[in-house]
Amino acid sequence: MSEPARPQRRNEIRQQNETLILQAAEKVFAEAGFGGATMQLIADLAGLPKANLHYYFATKEELYRKVVQNIFEIWLHAADSLDNAPGPIEGIGAYIDAKMEISRRHPDGSKVWASEVMHGAPVIQDYLETTLRDWTAGRAALIQRWIDEGKMAAVNPEHLLYMLWATTQHYADFGHQIETLNGGPLTDAQWLRAKDSVKAMILRGIGAV
Amino acid sequence: MSEPARPQRRNEIRQQNETLILQAAEKVFAEAGFGGATMQLIADLAGLPKANLHYYFATKEELYRKVVQNIFEIWLHAADSLDNAPGPIEGIGAYIDAKMEISRRHPDGSKVWASEVMHGAPVIQDYLETTLRDWTAGRAALIQRWIDEGKMAAVNPEHLLYMLWATTQHYADFGHQIETLNGGPLTDAQWLRAKDSVKAMILRGIGAV
DNA sequence: TCTTTTCCTGACCGTATGGTCAGATTGAAG
DNA sequence: CTTCAATCTGACCATACGGTCAGGAAAAGA
C-alpha cells in the first residue's frame, strides 16, 4: 500500500493534525464565539496538548482566521449552481438547495461566519471588499439579465441575494431556536419540507413560474 | 417643577444609572460578544467606575441576562401589528415594516439576540420553550386561518415565520456586510427600498395580492 | 549508525479579567 | 443637626488565559 491507513509520514502528520485542530476550532468558535473560545478547549476537543496547537498555529487569531477563510471558500463554491443555469427557476432553485445543504451539514461554519460579520468583520473585511463585492456584482448582473429577458419579475437583485442568504443561513445560525420550536432536530422529511417551502415562497416571490 | 431636568432624587439615580449601564452593555455585548465583552469596557462607555457596575448588577451574567430580556420584550411587542389585521397583506406587511424598523433602530439588540441563540440560548432557553413557543403557535394558527379563508397561498406557516425573522433581522445582524457591499450606510431612500423589496417579494411569495 | 530536521509537551510567565471590600460621600428622615 | 440607609469608588485579590521555552522523542537523510 502506498497510502497506509495509520501512517506517520511527515507530510501526513502535519496535514492530519492541522485539519483535526481546524475542525475542533470551528466547533468551539461556533459555540463560544471568538472571545469565549479558549485554546485549552480547542486542544481538549482535538485531543492534543495546548502547546501543540501553538506549534501549528502561532496565535489564536491565526487559527481563527484560517477557520473563517475555510468557510468563505465553501460559501463561494456553493454559487456554482447559480451560473450556467438557463433561468431563475433552475439557477436560484439549485442555489437554495446548495445553501440549505450547507446549513445542514456545516452549521458551525455558518455560525462562525455570522459571528465574524456581526462583530464588524475584523478579520475578513478585505474579503468583503474585494471577493464578495465582485461576486455579488456578478450575480446581481446575472439576475438583472434574467429580468430583462422576462424570465422573472423586476425585483431588486441585491435585496434578492440578501433574502437568499438570510433565509438559508437562518436554518444554521438559528438552528437552536428552530429545534426548540420544533421539539427536536429536524428530520430528513422536515429538512425536505423546509427546502421546498423556501424554494416555493422565493421562486413565487420573484415571479419565476 | 415636580420633575426637574438634572435631579439627584434617589429613585431617579437608580433608574438613570441602570438604563445607562444597560445601553452601554447592549452595545459592547453586540460588538464583542459575551466572551469578548469586559466589564471595564462597559463601564468606560457608561462613564462609570467598574465597581459601580457591580453595585447595580452583581455579575456579568446578570447584566447580560437583563440586556437579552429587554430585547425579547421589544421583539414580542413588534408582533402586535400582525394581530387584528384583516388579512395577510395588511398584517404581514405591517409586521415586516415593524421588524425592519427595529433592525434599523436597534441593530445592537438584534445582534445580541442572534448571538445568544447561536450559542445555544444558555440564558433564555426557558423563554424559547414557553413564551416564544406559544407566540409562534398562535401566529401560525392565524396564518393558517388566512390560508383556509383563501386569502393567501397554502404555505407552511412556521417556515413563513422563519423567513420573516431571517429576512428582516438580516439587515441588522449582517448590517456590516450590507454596508460594505453598499459602499456605506443605507440612506433613508435605500432603507425604504429595502423594506419595499422585502414586502413585495414575500407578499407575492405567499400569494397575497 | 550518526546527523539533522521536524514534531511534541510539561512547566512556566505576564497580563487581563471578574469580582470583592472597606471606607467615603450623599441624599432622605426625624 | 443627627442619624440612617443608599450610593459610590480606589485598591486589591484570585484565577484563567494566551503564549513561551527548553528539552525530549521520532522520523528523514546520509
Q: What is the pLDDT of residues A110-161, one digit of tens each?
A: 999 999 999 999 999 999 999 999 999 999 999 999 999 999 999 999 999 9
- A121 and B176 within 8 Å at the Cβ level: the answer is yes
A125 and A166 housed in the same domain: yes
Question: Looking at the predicted structure, is the pLDDT value of residue B3 above 70?
Answer: no
A36 and A87 housed in the same domain: no
A207 interaction partners in chain B (CB closer than 8 Å) = 204
- What is the reported pLDDT for A11? 80
- DSSP H/E element including B10: helix B10-36
A190 and A113 housed in the same domain: yes
Structural contact between residues B169 and B110, judged by C-beta atoms closer than 8 angstroms: yes
pLDDT band at B4 (very low <50, low <70, confident <90, very high): very low
Contacts of B175 (CB under 8 A, 6+ apart): B103, B107
Angle between helices A107-118 and B175-182 (to 10 degrees): 70
B51 and B19 housed in the same domain: yes
- What is the reported pLDDT for A1? 32
Helices (H), chain A: 10-36, 39-46, 50-56, 60-77, 88-105, 107-118, 125-127, 133-148, 157-173, 175-182, 188-205
Nucleotides of D under 7 A from a protein CB: 6-11, 16-22, 26-28
B108 and B190 housed in the same domain: yes
- Nearest-by-CA chain B residue for A209: B205
Q: Where in B19-175 does DSSP place strands (E)?
A: none
Measured CA to CA, the distance from residue A98 to residue A134 in angstroms comes to: 20
A88 and A182 housed in the same domain: yes
- What is the reported pLDDT for B8? 66
Give the range of the structural domain holding residue A43, as residue numbers without chain letter: 10-58
Structural contact between residues A193 and B170, judged by C-beta atoms closer than 8 angstroms: no
- What is the reported pLDDT for A8? 65
Shortest alpha-carbon distance between residue B193 and chain A (Å) = 9
pLDDT tens string B106-140: 999 999 999 999 999 999 999 999 999 999 999 99
- CA distances to A183, B33, B80 from B129, rounded to whole Å, are 9, 23, 20
Measured CA to CA, the distance from residue A175 to residue B112 in angstroms comes to: 16
Q: Which of B37, B129, B162 sits opposite A170 (nearest CB)?
A: B162
Asked, for residue B152, whether it belongs to a domain, the answer is: yes
B121 and B173 housed in the same domain: yes
Over residues B160-181, mean pLDDT: 98
Measured CA to CA, the distance from residue A206 to residue A22 in angstroms comes to: 39
Residue from A34, A41, A95, A90 nearest A62 by CA: A34
Cell of A66: 484560517
pLDDT tens string B51-95: 999 999 999 999 999 999 999 999 888 888 898 899 999 999 999
- What is the reported pLDDT for A167? 98
Measured CA to CA, the distance from residue B96 to residue B205 in angstroms comes to: 14
Q: Count of domains in chain A?
A: 2
- What is the reported pLDDT for A3? 35
Give long-range contacts, CB 8 A cutoff, 24+ apart: A55-58: A56/A14, A56/A17, A56/A18, A56/A21, A57/A21
Asked, for residue B198, whether it belongs to a domain, the answer is: yes
B36 and B122 housed in the same domain: no
Structural contact between residues B115 and A118, judged by C-beta atoms closer than 8 angstroms: yes
Question: Looking at the predicted structure, is the pLDDT value of residue B2 above 60?
Answer: no
Measured CA to CA, the distance from residue A164 to residue B198 in angstroms comes to: 11
B78 and B53 housed in the same domain: no
| Residues of chain A with confidence (pLDDT) below 70 | 1-8
B87 and B158 housed in the same domain: yes
Asked, for residue A4, whether it belongs to a domain, the answer is: no
Nucleotides of C under 7 A from a protein CB: 6-11, 16-22, 26-28
